[in-house]
Amino acid sequence: MAEKRKVRISDISNPNIYPLAEVGPNNTIELPPPYDKLENLPGFKKLSESARQAVDDSLDGVVAVGVPKPKTPEEEQELVEKFISGLIKLFSKENNWTFLQPLLLTMEHCAKCQTCAEECPIFEASGYEEIYRPTYRAEVLRRLYFKYVKPGSPLLKKFQVGDIELNWTLISRLIELSYRCTICRRCAQACPIGIDNGLITHELRKLFSQELGIAAKELHEKGTVQQLLVGSSTGMTPEVVKDNVSFIDEDLSERLGIKVESKWDVPNADYLLIHNAGEFLSWPENPAAFAILLDAAGIKWTYSSELVGYDGVNYGVWYDDFQLARVAQKHFEIAKKLGVKGIIMGECGHESKSMGIIAERIFGNEIKTINAMTLVEQIVFSGKIKFDPERNNFPVTLHDPCNIVRLMGIVEPQRRVLRYLAPKFREMEPHGVENYCCGGGSGFAVMTPYNFLDWRMHISGRKKFKQILDAFKDEPPGPEVPKYVCAPCSNCKGQIRDILDYYGAKEKSGIYYGGLVELVVNAMVDLKEPFIDFSMM
């Protein structure tokens, strides 16, 4: 069979190549049995005819954003013009001071050595499809930047970076392509020059959102917009969240035989605790474990029932600087009003990064933020609580959320806790700052439109699934021994839940997942009943 022609950079504007790349289940990353047979796995869902008529799927047959097809040539032209105006703003200091310096450095100095390519789990899992190569989308943007923004002779610019035709097809495909990278920045870590192709994804998404008003629905409409207007990206209003939490408290108090008590709007509390609100709906044991632990440690804490104050989610960090700032500003304002010493950020990677370091640059650090990893370590080793590590006598491995580990350098606190409280703890390989993303990064974990879930499971999540399986390879392979993936991040937990469900790993291999604080509470001597109950997971 003749070898497939590789996609070129300039192909992105050629509407006659349809789709630009064909992507589907493949075995480039081999999984051990019983997951090694592709035919036993669900394939990619075919898009319905009506969906294909309505939205553009010409990038790879997958749809994450769903750019509506234009009805007239004028509409096409309008998109192109808006794109150019956004492109110019992206490179202006007034409009994009937030990332201009790293963006310019990345645009001007890539040596095209491809050292970064091998490090991308998506590129690898796709069977090395060119469109997913870390430099592919960067190259497209680079050519557009040279052509439409950077001054100089057109001939020289073509000689330097090559040419590209800007049309509707390119923009539509680039919008989708900016949602095929998890912004894990593993590629950037490998680049000897310090070029950041993950940043390019981030900046492209911003251009599309801030100028064209186009973003993944789950991040924008259902995400930050809903959060700012209704209170939470989950859609929970203050009344609903309070109701839900009191139900969780009652339920767990009954089951565990100790009082689980969440507190709301407590005056004079020391800390405001903000979880990713998804925890209340999907993993209520996590906030409950926090409540138990903080009370046992004698910490005076409270939740806030103000709009946005009970949801630490900040999807703006992945696609829109202004939405990021608006949400973060609300968090800080609420903490100030409550008069607390600081904010405790729950087990959520992007909450920790957006509030702890990114928004800190915008608004200053008068309101202190405490990340869950260091707080849990502090409590565990404070001597205030008695633990029996034998209660966690099952195999445990740790997933390193990119936002907390590679992008904040919080590596050891969670490990020190696990080495103490989980006797059968083992690392994934590689781990720490060299970890692989769960595949749900940059918002993917909450995105399931059209056939995007299939892509997430087969392409962006496959490497992580292999790592999880490998971490437990010395254990009995079946479900008789429960195995625990500790993922101290709501977003990662969402993705790992989906992977384990998709591949049937709970039934086939007994693999479960949860946060860090659940393991800590499970080891508390004061608890009569085990906190972690595999039969209920």
Partner 1 sequence: MEFLHFAFYFGLVIFLILVISKAIKIATAPVHLRWELYPVAHEKGKAHYGGSYLEEFEWWTKPLKKDLLGELWTMFQEIVLLKGVWEHNRSLWFGSAPFHYALYLYIASTLLIFLGLIFGVTPDNVDFQTSWFPQFLNILLWLASILGIIGAIVLLFKRIFDENLRLYSNPSHYFNILLIGMLYVTSLVWLLNSENAIGEFFGFYKSAFTFSSLPEIPVIGYIHLYLLSFFLFYLPFTHMTHFFMKYFTYHKVRWDDEPNFPNSKIRKRLMEQLNFPVQWSAPHIGADGRKTWVVIATSPLPIKENKNG
Nearest to 294 by CA among 375, 215, 201: 375
Region of residue 504 (phi > 0: left; psi between -120 and 50: alpha; otherwise: beta): left
Closest distance to ligand SF4 from the beta carbon of 283 (Å): 25
Q: Which is nearer to partner 1, 323 or 491 (CB)?
A: 323
Q: Which is nearer to ligand SF4, 168 or 436 (CB)?
A: 436
Tokens of 78: 């309008």
Contact assessment for residue 440 and residue 498, using Cβ atoms and an 8 Å cutoff: yes
> Rounded CA gap, 203 and 223, in Å?
19
499-518: contacts with ligand SF4 (CB under 6 A): none
116 binds ligand SF4 (CB under 6 A): yes
Closest distance to partner 1 from the beta carbon of 342 (Å): 8
325 binds partner 1 (CB under 8 A): yes
Contact assessment for residue 223 and residue 141, using Cβ atoms and an 8 Å cutoff: no
Identity of residue 58: S
Q: Which is nearer to partner 1, 352 or 451 (CB)?
A: 352
3-state secondary structure 392-453: HCCCEEECCCCCCCCCCCCCCHHHHHHHHHCCCEECCCCCHHHCCCCCCHHHHHHCCCCCHH
Closest distance to partner 1 from the beta carbon of 387 (Å): 18
Binding mask 216-255 for partner 1 (x = CB under 8 A): -x--xxx--xx-xxx-------------------------
198 binds ligand SF4 (CB under 6 A): yes
Closest distance to ligand SF4 from the beta carbon of 280 (Å): 29
- CA end-to-end distance (rounded Å), the chain: 47
DSSP annotation of 460 reads I
Stretch that binds ligand SF4, among 67-75, 108-116, 288-296, 361-369 (CB under 6 A): 108-116
430 binds partner 1 (CB under 8 A): no
Interaction partner, residue 178 (partner 1, ligand SF4, none; CB < 5-8 Å by kind): none
Nearest to 138 by CA among 161, 157, 158, 121: 161
Q: Which is nearer to ligand SF4, 121 or 312 (CB)?
A: 121
133-172: contacts with ligand SF4 (CB under 6 A): 134-135
3-state secondary structure 300-362: CEEECCCCCCCCCCCHHHHCCHHHHHHHHHHHHHHHHHHCCCEEEECCCHHHHHHHHHHHHHH
Residues in the chain: 537
Interaction partner, residue 120 (partner 1, ligand SF4, none; CB < 5-8 Å by kind): ligand SF4
Interaction partner, residue 67 (partner 1, ligand SF4, none; CB < 5-8 Å by kind): none
> Rounded CA gap, 305 and 468, in Å?
37
425-444: contacts with ligand SF4 (CB under 6 A): none
Interaction partner, residue 105 (ligand SF4, partner 1, none; CB < 5-8 Å by kind): partner 1
Q: Which is nearer to ligand SF4, 201 or 371 (CB)?
A: 201
In sequence order, what are the beta bridge partners of 370?
344
Binding mask 137-156 for partner 1 (x = CB under 8 A): --x----------------x
Tokens of 535: 């039969």
How crowded is the C-beta side of 443, counted as CA atoms within 13 Å?
28
| Beta carbons within 10 angstroms of residue 268's beta carbon | 9
349 binds ligand SF4 (CB under 6 A): no
173 binds ligand SF4 (CB under 6 A): no
Q: Which is nearer to partner 1, 94 or 474 (CB)?
A: 94
Closest distance to ligand SF4 from the beta carbon of 79 (Å): 25
Stretch that binds ligand SF4, among 104-112, 143-151, 262-270, 326-334 (CB under 6 A): 104-112
> Rounded CA gap, 320 and 208, in Å?
9
115 binds ligand SF4 (CB under 6 A): yes
77 binds partner 1 (CB under 8 A): no
**Among 37, 46, 109, 419, contact with partner 1 (rule: CB under 8 A):** 109
Sheet hosting strand 368-371, strand order edge to edge: 301-302, 271-274, 342-345, 368-371
336 binds partner 1 (CB under 8 A): no
Q: What angle do CA 68, 70, 74 make, to 5 degrees?
A: 145
191 binds ligand SF4 (CB under 6 A): yes
Give contact residues for ligand SF4 (rule: CB under 6 A): 110-116, 119-120, 122, 134-135, 181-187, 191, 193, 195, 197-198, 201
